[in-house]
Amino acid sequence: MSDRHVSLIDLTLAYGGTIAVPGLTLDIVKGELIALLGPSGCGKTTTMRAIAGLLKPAAGRISIAGRDVTHVPANKRGVGLVFQSYALFPHLSAFENVAFGLRLRHSSETVIRARTEAGLATVGLSALATRRPAELSGGQQQRLALARSLVMEPSVLLLDEPLSNLDARLRLDMRSELQRMQRQTGVTMVFVTHDQAEALALADRVVLMRAGVIEQLGTPADLYSRPATAFAAGFMGFENIFRVEGTSLVSDAGAVPLGFAAGAPILAWRPGGVAVGAGPYAGQVVASSFAGSHREYVLESPLGRIKADVPIERAGAALGETVAFDLPQETVWPLMT
């Protein structure tokens, strides 16, 4: 990849004698926003810590902008880091929080003022420069933490689940802010999250990790629409996943005849792909939740629990009622592993 900016080459990361990431290889393109996605313990934060220089690799190499930084201290890598907790100084104003790193670098007062004012303007906080963190909202504090990193002009900006402490509305607002700032500054960003929607909404590419290895790497559309494995499918919202044995659909709970040729050993359906109200199968409604434009059903069936999303105008089944349903060929996603 000719425009790669960060390269992880056969990177092995360990805590004591426990290998957390075994031999990871990944290229990150200059100017892209890439998300490291996966459940707790998958190695995403460990990988980010290694890029930051906070964890020494057991083996392999890390390159940033063509420079081998494997053994370079964290403060000499040109990497910015935004924590989940923001880590702002409560006794300093917004201006001084942003200026702090520049003062440590012994920059001139002219440079400090110009870059700090530009940083506050980038995140829309110029009018709040004199306020302390406690006088700012959660979203404003997060933007302040971003400005503090951006004024240092990092070669790479690492974000460790930075939106997880915000409420739902603020998370949506901050997604837009992050995208705007990334486009405006052109900085390469590595975003760590366990939230699928967040990764899909923000990233140019998504790295889905499992047990320290890359399960799937691709665009958000690739992972959402074309998961490569049963793990990827389950993580990306295909909640009904079954094995195929002969002409039957099989789960640990039981089996039912499959009405079409499978063509793959595993078949998966999103809840929205399950047809409720007619079909060859039957299930009892054991849970029903209102979700705005649709109702979310859980059906107890011979295959175990089936999750189905039904448009609100057709969602008339009551708890305990037995309903017919289908797993249509038109909405299935075949999986080989």
Per-residue pLDDT of 293-313, as tens digits, reads: 999 999 999 999 999 999 999
pLDDT at 86 over 80: no
Q: Where in the chain is the domain with CATH 3.40.50.300?
A: 4-231
Rounded to an integer, the average pLDDT of 251-275 is 95
Of the ranges 25-29, 123-127, 129-133, 235-239, which one carries the lowest mean pLDDT score?
Answer: 123-127
Cα radius of gyration rounded to whole Å, the chain: 24
Q: Where in the chain is the domain with CATH 2.40.50.140?
A: 238-335
The CATH fold of domain 4-231: Rossmann fold (3.40.50)
Rounded to an integer, the average pLDDT of 43-50 is 96
Give the pLDDT score at 1: 46
Rounded to an integer, the average pLDDT of 97-126 is 92
The CATH fold of domain 238-335: OB fold (Dihydrolipoamide Acetyltransferase, E2P) (2.40.50)
Give the pLDDT score at 85: 75
pLDDT at 30 over 90: yes
Give the pLDDT score at 272: 96
Q: Greater confidence, 3 or 33?
A: 33
State the average pLDDT for the chain: 93
Give the pLDDT score at 286: 98
Give the pLDDT score at 177: 79
pLDDT-based confidence at 84, cuts 50/70/90? confident
Tell me the pLDDT tens digit for each residue of 198-240: 999 999 999 999 999 999 999 999 999 999 999 999 999 999 9
pLDDT at 2 over 60: no
Give the pLDDT score at 102: 93
